[in-house]
Amino acid sequence: MILVRRNPDEPAEELDLLEFERRAKNGEVAPQHQVCFPAVTGEKFVAARDLELYRGLYASGLITFRRYFHLARMPWMTLLLIGVLCLTYFVWQGGAPGGKDELVQHGAKSSVLMFELGQWWRLLTANFLHVSGWHLAANAIFLFNLGGPTEAVFRRQDYALIVAASLLGTTLLSAAANPLVSCGASGLVFGVWGAAAVFGMRHRKILPDRYRRYFIGSVIPYSLFALYIGFAIDGIDNWGHLGGLLAGSVTASFLPARLLVPKDRLLPAKLLGLSACALAIAAASLLPQGVGTLTFNRYYPRGGLSVPLPAKWQELNTQRDARTETYACGNGAGVMVGIRSRLEQLPVPEESLGRDFVSRDLAAYLETSDIQGLKIGEPVASEIGGCRAAVVVAELLTEDLVSQATYVVIARGYYHYVVSFTVPRWLSPYYEEAFANIIGKMEISEPDELAVAVERAHSEDTPFRHAQLAVAHAHAGDLEMGLATLRAAELRWPTNLDLPTVRDRLWLEAGKLTNAAGKKPDDGEVAPEDAPNHDGATSGEANP
């Protein structure tokens, strides 16, 4: 038997060994209580703290935890976070729902802009933006209900560490796995959720029953259910939720409960770690930036215009028919490059190239698009690959975005090339260098029509194939070579009537623009030195 008394003036209470161990573990026998353990102390009473048996059973921190654990602690840091969320929405975002482009402009997560422009500060800012007031309200309510208890059970500096880890974990995993634009504090909510669940699991044996039911019986099932709901609904950034949940859970697994370890000896190291993260985000902006490697292999340039395009950009559109090919790609942040190559029925007018594009192509585009306003600059003459070109800069206004579009229009005989660069106006300065680099590397090569005609003229030495070759040269902008090919063929086959007919047609089509004297000829007029000497009859072969 073991005798226990509070002080010498009180009678001693007899306890068996099991009861003594139970009371010592529960803190019912205090260190200053007097204990007589005949097998150890004989008839003498000593302070309980002097017994090795008692010291092995009594853990003051755990007893304090059991006695004083509660959640009634003002969550100042959580309230501050909610205040920052509200201030961001109502002041920075204007308090109104925003579209995707507006959210990106305010700082939402955009993987493309982070990797291409080094805007790694979005790892933090994206967590504080919200799509709508309802989005903000839902996250604020969840954060208060979960952040308050979590802040109460951890030291405030540790809670700040959980918040920082959740913010970064949310956007890092989302940026790596989800290319779509996203924003919101839900990743932070899941991080706090994970921290609360880890706390409950780690301390489930010493938590009072009602708190054990809350942290294990309520927090864990509800967090898993919320994660499932996110996967069941379209348009939810579940990678962000998962990143916040993992980051908050892992961080909390290394942090002690506030009541067990009130003093933080590692505070300087934690502050140093947070500072290192901030410096890493700042240093990331110094990494090489740009659209990445340009490649000519994104599309097949049948019309002879080769445009180098970013290898990592997404294909948006590709179409081909007998005379036209179009291709477009973009980076997912509203930055796009479009290419159109068209073989016209007549030579493309070079002198009015820019004006014709504005009056014909842009006008047709306005009729079929949702453009609400258009501001067009004066066309600027240029030259690309030895061909006449015009550069037209326009601003396009839609319902929620102003974009800047730069059109490079190129004339090459019968081929009409248009390369367009479209970018949100606020992003325009960031992509000027990339667009200039693409324009500088564009190549104008032999069209498929000419390559095929050359091959067939070599393999089939007939008037018909040489006439096709002449037409292909003219289409590719080399009218002189086309006429020379016809003259050589006429010398070889003087009785063939198709060759002069083709020559007439080429001169007539060129004459619709101007003749050698600068005069616009009549439909039947041809250049004197190349005027056909025939009555228009044709042989049995079809004209090319």
pLDDT number for residue 523: 40
Query: Is 327 in contact with 318 (CB distance < 8 Å)?
Result: yes
Bridge partners of 135, per DSSP, are: none
Rounded Cα gap, residues 378 and 376, in angstroms:
7
Q: How is residue 285 annotated by DSSP? A: T
DSSP 127: G
Contact 340, 326 (CB under 8 A): yes
The DSSP code sequence of 75-110 is -HHHHHHHHHHHHIIIIISTTS---HHHHHHHT-B-
Provide CB contacts within 8 A for 183, sequence distance 6+.
103, 107, 108, 109, 126, 127, 129, 130, 131
* DSSP3 helix / strand / coil % (the chain, rounded to 5): 50, 15, 35
Dihedral in degrees, nearest 10, Cα atoms 31, 36, 40, 41: 100
For residue 414, give both structure tokens. 């019968």
Q: Which residues contact 71 (CB under 8 A, 6 or more apart)?
A: 148, 149, 152, 153, 211
State how far the alpha carbon of 131 is from the alpha carbons of 320, 417, 501, in Å: 39, 40, 67
| pLDDT given for residue 510 in this prediction | 82
**pLDDT over 70 percentage in the chain:** 90
Q: What is the pTM of this model?
A: 0.74
C-alpha separations of 253 from 198, 200, 241, 505 in Å: 6, 11, 18, 83
d(CA 46, CA 40): 10
Note down pLDDT in tens along the chain; length 544 residues: 889 998 888 888 888 888 888 787 766 777 788 999 888 888 889 888 888 777 766 665 555 565 556 666 788 999 999 999 999 999 999 988 878 888 999 999 999 999 899 899 999 999 999 999 999 999 999 999 888 889 888 988 999 999 999 999 999 999 999 888 999 999 999 999 999 999 888 888 777 777 778 878 888 888 888 888 888 787 789 999 999 999 999 999 998 887 776 677 788 888 888 888 888 888 887 777 888 899 998 888 889 999 999 999 999 999 998 899 999 999 988 899 999 999 999 999 988 999 999 888 887 777 767 777 778 889 999 999 889 999 999 998 887 788 999 999 999 999 999 999 999 999 999 999 999 999 999 999 999 999 999 999 999 999 999 999 999 999 999 999 999 999 999 999 999 988 989 988 988 888 743 444 344 444 433 343 343 333 333 333 334 4
**H-helix segments, 73-232:** 76-87, 100-106, 111-117, 122-125, 133-153, 156-177, 186-202, 209-212, 220-232
CA atoms in the 13 A half-sphere facing the CB of 458: 5
Give yes or no for a contact between 407 and 391, defined as CB atoms under 8 angstroms apart.
yes
- Rounded to an integer, what is the distance from CA 303 to the centroid of its chain? 33
Neighbouring residues of 137: CB distance < 8 A, sequence distance ≥ 6? none
Alpha-carbon distance 80 to 302, whole Å?
A: 61
In this prediction, residue 233 carries a pLDDT of 81
